[in-house]
Structure 1
């Protein structure tokens, strides 16, 4: 159901790959709410993914670009302003990848060249994006920029590895740039800390299915899915949130405020029963 929350607004969505992508859902909802958009992803993602199908469905132009390249980003913003007919009102940064995670390198055995790539792709690209936009004066007054984060920026999760460092940096960039961009241009910058969500990128995290189940049992409202995240992004892009900036906004069903839930405790107790002898002593394998 449309409420015309983004009627007449222009946006750029970075990171849509296929129907599993949160960015894909955000793009669909943005157009449904009245926006016109451009889509951007790496040239290889454009070739290998299904973004052209999305572009055709939404009547949106795809601009292939490497988000770690300042030159490419300059092209994305200048072309988007030209294509859309004016300054940009909202941007989604939905970009993240860790070569260390893909290569199954543990946190105490990182390849540092890979770490640099993780940080550049998953976080520093956000700074480059904002810096290019500001220098081009490409974002309209009271524009809204959102980057997708995860609670691992504050807490340790097994298997999330150097992506946790990247998300911490991402959130710091939102705060630091949010002050400057807000003060000078009225642009608001926030991160959304989403529930674990089964996307193409998320599926590469070790034990993702167990992590999602755990988070769902811990969260009083359950996990937020990709469609619900898209709804939240639309609200943050709209004029209803004109004074919200420099925030990390948890969209996780309450997970981030929990210590232990009843459902998680029951599951924990059941596991203990499965690995205990008749006297209640834990049997170690």
Structure 2
């Protein structure tokens, strides 16, 4: 059941691929809450993915674009304003990809051409998106722009590889552009640091199943899933959070502030036999 939280608002959602995507869940919930929006993903994803189905379900026009291409982004914002009848009130950047992860290149043996693409797709595209929107004056006053991040921007996680560098850059861009956009246009820019989530992109991270289990044991509230994240994104798009900007907001069941949980400690101790623990400790 919706609460009309976004009634009358217009937006653009980048990155919905299939029903595992956080962006997909955000689109479904935004539609339930009364928003009108366009959807954008790469031309290949739009042709081969399931986004057409989502577009029909949410009455949303699909605008293919390479988010690393400024001209493509200009087209998305202009066409969205034309289709929706004015400036947009919210934008979601739910984009990330690492060729080093896909090709199983470890962090101490990166392919630097791949790294450049990782940073461009996963982080610099956020700056390009913001810069295009700013120059075109495409976002309404008190509008909200969100990028999706992960705690690996602050802490080291085995297997997350160069995506950690990309997320750190993404968060920095959110702060730096958030200051300018807030000062000049009263537009909010934030990043959400989400629990590890089973998405098409996330599934490629080495050891993702173990990481999800570990964080779930560590978090007092357990992991936040894609639907939970969608709800949080909606509050950030709404007028209820008008004075929140330049923040990296942890949405992870408390994981980011826990050193060792009872469940994790119990499981850790089980990995040793009693005699070994007494001898060493």
Distance 1:43 1:84 in 2: 21
What does residue range 9-48 of structure 1 map to in structure 2 within 5 Å?
9-48=9-48
- Secondary structure in 2 matching 1:62: coil
| Aligned position for 2:120 | 120
- Secondary structure in 2 matching 1:272: coil
Distance 2:98 2:191 in 1: 19
Please report how far the alpha carbon of residue 164 of structure 1 lies from its aligned counterpart in structure 2 after TM superposition.
0.2
Distance 1:266 1:27 in 2: 39
| Aligned position for 2:148 | 148
Alignment CA distance shift 1:265-1:77 (3 Å):
same
Please report how far the alpha carbon of residue 27 of structure 1 lies from its aligned counterpart in structure 2 after TM superposition.
0.4
How many residue pairs match? The answer is: 280
| Aligned position for 1:194 | 194
| Aligned position for 2:75 | 75
TM-score where L is the length of structure 1: 0.96
What does residue range 30-109 of structure 1 map to in structure 2 within 5 Å?
30-109=30-109
Pair 1:166-2:166 in alignment? yes
Give unmatched runs, 5+ long, in structure 1: none
| Aligned position for 2:259 | 259
| Aligned position for 1:224 | 224
Q: Deviations over 1:176-196 (max 9, x none)?
A: 000000000000000000000
Please report how far the alpha carbon of residue 277 of structure 1 lies from its aligned counterpart in structure 2 after TM superposition.
6.8
- Secondary structure in 2 matching 1:141: strand
Distance 2:203 2:111 in 1: 21
> Alignment RMSD, CA only?
1.2
Distance 2:114 2:276 in 1: 49
Please report how far the alpha carbon of residue 48 of structure 1 lies from its aligned counterpart in structure 2 after TM superposition.
1.8
TM-score where L is the length of structure 2: 0.98
Please report how far the alpha carbon of residue 35 of structure 1 lies from its aligned counterpart in structure 2 after TM superposition.
0.3
Distance 1:279 1:88 in 2: 59
Distance 2:46 2:277 in 1: 59
Distance 1:139 1:279 in 2: 59
Distance 1:14 1:135 in 2: 19
| Aligned position for 2:206 | 206
Please report how far the alpha carbon of residue 47 of structure 1 lies from its aligned counterpart in structure 2 after TM superposition.
1.6
Please report how far the alpha carbon of residue 271 of structure 1 lies from its aligned counterpart in structure 2 after TM superposition.
1.3
| Aligned position for 1:250 | 250
